[in-house]
Amino acid sequence: MFGWNLLRDVELQLRVQVYEMQLSAVRAELEATKVYVGKCERLIEHEREQIDKERERADRIADSLFQSQGLAPTSVTVVREQKAADEVADGKRTDYMAQLAEIYGETESELVEDGAEPVPEPIAELVKNVR
């Protein structure tokens, strides 16, 4: 008559229950979405790793073809590995040259001291300059 809508206590309780059910449904959907997002992120990471492996494999194949034709490698992976291998080889070469210099330095000194063989003048001058 006056346009008022009188609500009973039971109707209020029903509205609260509906609201709580909707809230719990949204929370459950949120949890399911979080789980799904985690799975998707793991899948994306796995696929990225696979793509990187395949790209590296393709780079190695391309560089091996280039090198078989006498060209320099172009991929970052192979160039990095070659630089590392060159550094190791340079270190070994330096040690080897130092050992050879020590071995042959003693031999040259012995030859000069013994006078067993005539030593060419340039070598004799080098030995004198070293002392």
Confidence of residue 108 (pLDDT cuts 50, 70, 90): low
At 119 the pLDDT is 63
Mean pLDDT score of the chain, rounded to an integer? 84
At 130 the pLDDT is 64
Whether the per-residue pLDDT at 95 is higher than 60: the answer is: yes
Q: Answer with the residue of higher pLDDT: 75 or 52.
A: 52
Q: How far apart are CA 25 and CA 128, in angstroms?
A: 95
- Say if CB 62 and CB 69 are below 8 A apart: no
At 54 the pLDDT is 95
DSSP letter at 70 equals T
- Say if CB 78 and CB 63 are below 8 A apart: yes
CA 83, distance to chain mean position in Å, is 14
At 100 the pLDDT is 82
For residues 95-124, average pLDDT: 72
Instruction: Quick: pLDDT tens for 111-127.
Output: 656 655 666 777 777 77
The SS3 of residue 96 is: helix
